[in-house]
Amino acid sequence: MYDLFSYLISLINKIKKMKKQAYITLKLFATLVKFTPDSSDYYPVEPGTSVRDLVAGLKIPEEKAKLIFIDGIRGELDSILQGGERIGIFPPVGGG
């Protein structure tokens, strides 16, 4: 009986985790392309994750994530994601 109870609790916890999972569409540009994950069209994030946390999780040096767009609107590293967003991240751009 205890094993069944433990199994059910474990299963409930897994289901709760799945419900907390959300997805974004992620596009990295120029020199950041090499950090693009295979699942960039449907990238999992937990609601409440910041762009800063996303960048760190992708192993992108923070100073390389210069220009951020969230659903086509300028974002910041401290912007919070809920899931469903389209995220574009650009490196610093130089010119002359």
Q: Where are the domains of the chain?
A: 19-90
Spell out the per-residue pLDDT of the chain, length 96, in tens: 568 778 888 877 777 666 577 999 999 999 999 999 999 999 999 999 999 999 999 999 999 999 999 999 999 999 999 999 999 999 998 766
Report how far residue 68's alpha carbon sits from residue 8's, in angstroms, rounded to the nearest whole number. Answer: 42
- In 1-96 the beta strands, taken as DSSP E runs, fall at 22-28, 43-45, 49-50, 67-70, 73-75, 80-81, 86-90
CATH class as words, domain 19-90: alpha beta
**Predicted structure pTM score:** 0.78
Tokens found for residue 72: 């086509």
Q: Are 27 and 87 in contact (CB under 8 A)?
A: yes
